[in-house]
Structure 1
Amino acid sequence: PSSQRATGHYLGRWIRAEWRTWCRQQGAKLSDGSIDVHSLFRSMIIPIDVRERPAFPILAMEWPWKLYLGNGTSSRLSYKDSSVLLTDAEFRIDDYGTSGPLCFSIMTPTWELAYEGHFGSQGLHYRAKGDDAEVVGWRDVRTPFSTWLNSDKPTLFLSGDRMVTGDDRLLAPRTELPPYPRERLRALDWASNGVDITVESQGIERKANSIQAYMARFLSQDQTFDILIDDDRAGEAADLVGIRVDKGDLHITLVHCKYSSKPTAGSRLSDLYEVCGQAMRGARWRDNGALPLLEHLDRRAKAYTRRTGLSPFEIGDREALFGIRQQAPQLFPRISTVIAQPGLSIKASSDEQLRLIAGAASYVQSVTKGSFDVLASE
C-alpha cells in the first residue's frame, strides 16, 4: 500500500540522517588533535593467554560463579564417608610465591586435601598431590575432583588487581597501581578492648577475646543492622555479614577478619595475603541483586544450627532474613567491604603492603561500586 511505502520512505530518510550525524560526530573525534590515542590504549586491559606462572602472588581462588546460580549448589564434594555441598568447601592458597606450581588445598569442616596447578602450553592443569576427592553430581554421577577442576576452572585473584579467568587468560592493568593511602587506614584500640590479635575466630565457644567477636561488638555499636550473622567457616561469604534495609536500598557489610602472625603489629606482608584475597573473592556477592548471597546465608544458617544447636545470628534471625529475601528483588544492593587485620601497623606499613591493599581495593570497588575500609593498629 502507498501508506506503507511512504512510511518506509520517511523511515529511510531518518535513518540516513542519523547515520550522517553519527559519522560527523566520529569524524570530529578522529580529527581532534587534543586526544592522546596512546593514553587510551594504556588504560585498556588486554587478555593474555597464561602459559607460565605470573610473576605476582596468587591471593585466592573462587568457584565458577555459575555454581551459585540456579541448581549449581546441588553438587557435593565427597571424600571417604564425608561430603559437603561443593560451594561449602573452600580453597586455601598454600604458596604465595611466584614460581613453580600453584599449591593449594581444598578444605571442609572435617578434612582437607592438597592439590597443585601446573602452568604450561595448554594453560593451567590441576592434579591431586595425594588422595583425590570426588564431585557427586546429578543422578549420583561421580567425577574425580581434579578432573572436574580442569573442566570447571576457578578464577584466580592475584596481587595488583590482576586475575586469571577460568579460560586461562590473565587480565591485568597495564600500569602499576599507586600504594593505598596510609591516611585511609583506620586504627582501632584492640588491646584496650581485650582482643588477642593472634586469635581470629570466636568459634562455637564465642571467644570474647577474638578479633571476630570484637568486630561483632564494634559493628553493633557503630552501625544499625537488621541482621548480623557469623558465617565464619569453610565456604564463607565473609566472617561477619551485616544487612540493613533502608527505604529502597539493601545495605550489606562484608567483614573479613585475619589474625596477626605475631602478638605485636608490624609490616609483615604475609599477614595481608589471605585477607586481601578473601575481600576480592567476596566482591561478586553483589551480583544478581545479592540474592545468591541471601540464599547462601539462609542455607548455611540452617545447616549450622542443625549441626551445632546454636544460632549464627548476632542480630536478627532466619525469619528476619527471610523477610529481607522477599524484599530483595525490589532493593538496590550497596556493598561495604571491611578488612580487619590488627597485625598491620599503620605507622610501620610498607609500600609493598600498601600496594597489596591497593590492588584488593581497586578490584573490590570496581565490582561492588561500594566502600572499602581497612581496620588495623597504630
Structure 2
Amino acid sequence: MGLLLGNAQREAAKEGNASAKDALKNLGRVYLHNRDVCAQEAVYRLTNMHPKECSRKVVFVPVGDNVVKMSLPLRVLKQKAASGNLTTEDMWMPSGVDRYKNRPNDGSFNDMCIVTFASEYRVLSKNEKSANRIKLNNDLGFVLKRTRSQPAVMRYVHFSETKNPELFYQSILQLFMLYRKDVQLKPPGFETYQQFYSGGSVRLADGLLHSVKSVVDLNRSKFEHDADELDTIQNAADNDGVLEDAWCELCPEQELEHLECNQLGRDEEQVLDEQIENIPDLGVSREQVAHLEKRNNIMCRSDGLALLRSLNEPQMCIFYEIRNWCLQKVMGGGSQTHYVFSLQVVQGQVKAI
C-alpha cells in the first residue's frame, strides 16, 4: 500500500497542474481500490479456490414498489441509443422477477409462486448446454431445475404486520401469490392488498376457485415455520432487550446446581492452598515454579553426526567438555554444577559465552 500511494503521489507531482484537492482525490482513490491480503487469501485467489462455500445457494427476492434494477452495460446502451431503440423499459437487465413473470404457460408453472420458482430453478448461462433446460417467454433465456443440489435458501425483506400493514400484505402477495402481472396482486375492486388477501379468490390449474388467503398461507408455510412467533420474539427483544438471566428463569434447578458446583470448586482450591502453606517443602509461590516441557522430536544418528562435523574447534571443545561431565554424572561422580566460560572474537570485539 505504501508503494502504491507513493507512486500515486509521484504521478500527481509530475503533472504539476494538479491541485492539492485533485492530488488528495487520487491518493484516496488508490487507497480505496487496493488492499493488503494475507498469504492464505493470495493462495486461494491464485489457485481459483473458493474462499467460502455453502451447502445451499442463497437467493434474495426483492419486494415492494421500488425494486432495485441493474442497467445494461454502457456499451449496449450507447448502441441502442444510436439505433433509436432505447426506451425506459429496455435499458434494464432482466431480473428474477421478470423471469418469473415470463415463466412457461403450463400447469406446474401456473400454480407456482416466485419463492418456489427461485428456490427450485436457476438461470442457465449462455455457455451452459442442457437437454432439460426450460425456455422462458419473451426471449428471457432458459432456466434449469436444481437436481444436483438441494433447493436454494430464500431471503427477502420482512415487514411488520402492525406497523406497516399495507407493505406486509403487499410483500406476502408478491412472494407467495401466483401472478404474471403486478395488477393481479390488487385487481380492480380492491382498494388495498389486505382486502384482496382477505376476500379475494384465484383460479388454479385444477379449474376451481381458491381463496387468496389459503393459497398464500399454504405457500408461506413451506418456507416459514413459526414466523409469527419468531416476529413476536424479535420485537420483544428489540423493545425490552436481551435478558441476561433468561436461563435462570427457564431452568432454575440447573442454574442452582451450576452455582453450587462453582462454590464447591472454590472451597476445594482454598483448602488445597491452606494445606500447601503448612508444608514447607511444597509452600512455593507460583512465580518460582519452572515449567518443563518434554520434546518428543529426537535427532537421528546421521543428522547428529553431520551436525557434529560442522562444529569448529572451540565449539567441539565445549561439546566434549559437557559430554564428559554428563558421563561422570551418570556414573555417580562429577561436581553438582558445571560452568563453562568461553571467549569469542566477533568483528573485532571479545564476547563472553
TM-score in terms of structure 1 length: 0.24
Q: Which has the larger radius of gyration?
A: 2
TM-score in terms of structure 2 length: 0.25
Q: Which has the higher strand share?
A: 1
Q: Which has the higher helix share?
A: 2
Which of structures 1 and 2 has the larger relative contact order (alpha carbons within 8 angstroms, sep 6+)? 1
